[in-house]
Amino acid sequence: MSTVSTRTQAPSGPFTGTAALLRFMLRRDRIRLPAWVLGIGIFVPYFFTAFETLFPSEAELAELSAFTSGPMIGLLGGPGYGLGEDLSYVTFFTAIYVVYFMLAAALMNILLVSRHTRVEEQTGRAELIRANVVGRYAPLTATLIMAVAGNIGVTLVMLGGLLAFEAPASGALLVAAGVGAFGMVFAGVAFVSAQVSEYSRVSSAIAGAVLGGTYVLRAVGDMTGEHGNALSWVTPYAWSQQTRAFVDERWWPLAISAVVSVALILLAYRLSDRRDLGAGLRASRRGRAAAPRWVSNPLTLALRLHRGSVRGWAIGLLIAGLVYGSTTGPFVDSFADMTGTMGEMFTAGPDPVLGYLNTLAVMMVIAVAVFALLSLLRVRAEELDGRAEPVLATAVSKPMWLAGHVVVTAAASVLLLVLACAAMGVTAAASTGDWSLLGELTVAGLVGAPAVLVVVGLVTALYGLSPRLLPVATVLVTFSGLAAFFGEMLDLPPALLAISPWHHTPAVPGAAITAAPLLIQTLVALVLAMIGLAAFRRRDLVTT
């Protein structure tokens, strides 16, 4: 007797499996996504606490009237609504600092979309998933739901933070919704860029370039016209900042963000139909059959891999240095007669110009430390994606391979720091007429380099011991950046301040250079790097 079995075919469609993928993504991001949301939102109470420390009353805040007008605010913050007679804590926060919350929300969305779309295809995991009953649009849709949830989370956390400091409810909701809407616009940008290249790094770079390019357009537009001009409205920044929160509130600019977000997401769905899984709309060029002769050792190979990143950072830091240095003359004129905590912060010491430039030099040190961190995180990608294995299959040892990346990152960090500070010195000297500042700031770049090398050594040690420890370096760099500017103001314990590598750096320009802390920082960096190289020799490679 034979039996006939019938197999029930599961219904399938383009969105089949979305719920299962969403649960999987939520499981993977159960720590990362809440950390992003809370990490962005926590700066709301932080800034308001700092305001109340710097300016115990809103009358003292009004002392900033000289600073909170003119093109400077257009460059740093936005169109500058609410900075005149209506100046208050909430309008000061909204006009100057909300743009940085928008940038953080955009980065969160770019990385989230890249991680769950292009990285999955690049590593081959998407192909395994699609071998099951999973619809063509399921990964995109699940990622979209994740992005929406993340932006709603940012909106709610920011709203709660503003309401906690007694901000008017309608204005607080407008500010928070503006940040969330801005994040959704760049989620849409990231969805489209993920269809272009087969590499996650390239797709993220495209979205990042859009973010940076529109920031420059916004700055030019906001600097050249009162409350911005038509150029400002070309960028997504205006669609959130021109809502005039807490001043003359209007909601309709947010509709532009909503329409553009939907259009970009629909475009991404359409483009996904025009390419194969794992491929991009832009076909990758074939590399040379043989490597150039100069790429014959781990050091030159690392230089070849990092040179594009170094070139991009050099251009960005050069522009930033020129812009920030040019603010020296007008900024110090505004703060020269200022009293209280704010005045002490920027004009402490015998020369307020040098005090201000020291603050800018610390900013450059922190920026270059971020470069060093990201540069060494790329080593992790080389290992994870299996590109390190062919190199290590040759006569190259594991410590030699890692040392090549470390040496290139360290040398590039010093070069970038000196370049950025020298560029700042050129325009600072031009704006004040004191050309000795060029030499002072170039030396400041060299003095700040050992602290950045400590970061290089720390990341090397953590990576060598275990890649799982790398988030510790991210936390340290973030904390050190905050401690450098606000640590003493918030009366942090000396033991916590001592964690920051650049807390021990002489405050140059403006202070005498002492060799001992610089030598100790360099020694610590070398020891940490050696620990990392030795530990990396002993551990196995981790690949997908």
d(CA 441, CA 447): 10
Closest CA to 420 of 467, 338, 473, 360: 360
Nearest to 83 by CA among 258, 178, 222: 222
The model's confidence at residue 463, banded by pLDDT at 50, 70 and 90, is: very high
Distances (CA, A) of 236 to 212, 254, 443, 466: 12, 9, 39, 40
pLDDT at 502: 82
User: Residue 341 — very low, low, confident or very high, per pLDDT cuts 50/70/90?
Assistant: low
**160 Cβ contact list (under 8 Å, min separation 6):** 41
pLDDT above 80 for 356 = no
pLDDT at 15 over 50: yes
Average pLDDT over residues 460-480: 87
- 8-state DSSP, 511: S
Q: What is the pLDDT of residues 360-374, one digit of tens each?
A: 888 889 889 988 988
Of the chain, the end-to-end C-alpha distance in Å amounts to 49
pLDDT tens per residue, range 518-542: 999 999 999 999 999 999 999 888 7
pLDDT in tens, 171-191: 999 999 999 999 999 999 999
CA distance readout (Å), 337 to 63, 344, 345: 10, 11, 13
Cα dihedral sign, 501-472-318-224: negative
Spatial contact of 373 and 503, defined as CB atoms under 8 Å apart? no
For residues 492 and 473, the model is more confident at 473
Q: How many CA atoms lie within 13 A of 518 on its CB side?
A: 14
Cα 249 to Cα 252: distance, rounded to the nearest angstrom: 10
How many Å apart are CA 285 and CA 491, to the nearest integer?
Answer: 55
Predicted confidence (pLDDT) per residue in 303-319, tens digit = 988 998 898 889 888 88
Least confident of 130-144, 332-346, 403-417: 332-346
Q: Residue 45 corresponds to which tokens in the numbers above?
A: 């109470």
pLDDT confidence bin for 254, thresholds 50/70/90: very high
Q: Between 453 and 7, where is the model more confident?
A: 453
Tokens describing residue 85: 């007679």
Higher per-residue confidence, 510 vs 110: 110
**pLDDT at position 4:** 43
Query: What was the pLDDT predicted at 195?
Result: 94
Specify the pLDDT at position 5.
46
The pLDDT of residue 140 is: 95
Q: Are 239 and 176 in contact (CB under 8 A)?
A: no
The mean of the pLDDT values for the chain is 85
Report how far residue 53's alpha carbon sits from residue 62's, in angstroms, rounded to the nearest whole number.
Answer: 15
Q: What is residue 488's predicted lDDT score, i.e. its pLDDT?
A: 66
Of 107-116, 214-223, 431-440, 474-483, give the range with the top mean pLDDT. 107-116
The number of beta carbons lying within 10 Å of the beta carbon of residue 535 is: 18
- Judged on CB neighbours under 10 Å (0-12, 13-18, 19+), 14 is middle
Q: How far apart are CA 40 and CA 159, in angstroms?
A: 12
451 pLDDT tier (thresholds 50, 70, 90): very high
pLDDT of 233 > 90? The answer is: yes
pLDDT in tens, 131-179: 888 899 999 999 999 999 999 999 999 999 999 988 999 999 999 999 9
Of the pLDDT bands very low, low, confident and very high (cuts 50, 70, 90), residue 80 is: confident
Please state the rounded mean pLDDT for residues 115-134: 87
Report which of 311, 107, 309, 118 is spatially closest to residue 211, judged by C-alpha positions: 107
pTM for the complete prediction? 0.76
Q: What string of DSSP letters covers 510-521?
A: TS---HHHHHHH
- Res 2: pLDDT: 43
Among the residue ranges 25-39, 117-131, 279-293, the one predicted with the least confidence is 279-293
At 86 the pLDDT is 74
